[in-house]
Amino acid sequence: MTLLQRSTERLDIDLLVLPDTNLILIASVIEPLRGANRISGSELYRWRLLTPDGAPVPTTSHIAIPTEGIFRATTEERPLFVLASYNWRGSATPALKMQLSQAARYRTVIAGIESGTWLLAEASLLDG
């Protein structure tokens, strides 16, 4: 049996946030990472907020969340979390689904958070 070993290596995570995601969902992903950094006294986690168009993402609270840029399918290996709440189908464009499929070739982990799982299913990333 292998035990988990503590790592001091920073984990960089990309968060693809789709329009009409609620604030509590975004906070529920970021706050545990931020809290772990604070408790450890070091930067164990770093995250980037991305959107399909790079623009600030409108939330269900009508508060736009600033982002660090556009989500692109690259050879990036860092984990990707796809966050979506309401109206996720409006974001499930053929182009975004193709980008997610291409990104899955390189990303170490792709996780759907709340309705983000439906988008991953639409992109056929949950098959098999």
Domains in the chain with CATH codes: 11-122 (3.40.50.880)
Instruction: Provide the pLDDT for residue 74.
Output: 86
What is the pTM for the complete model shown? Answer: 0.90
* Contacts of residue 48, Cβ cutoff 8 Å, sequence gap at least 6: 12, 13, 14, 15, 68, 69
Burial category of 11 from C-beta neighbours within 10 Å (exposed 0-12, middle 13-18, buried 19 and up):
middle
Task: Report the pLDDT averaged over residues 5-33.
Answer: 92
- Phi/psi of residue 98, nearest 5 degrees: -65, -45
115 pLDDT higher than 60: yes
8 pLDDT higher than 90: no
What is the pLDDT of the chain when averaged over all its residues?
Answer: 91
Instruction: Provide the pLDDT for residue 1.
Output: 46
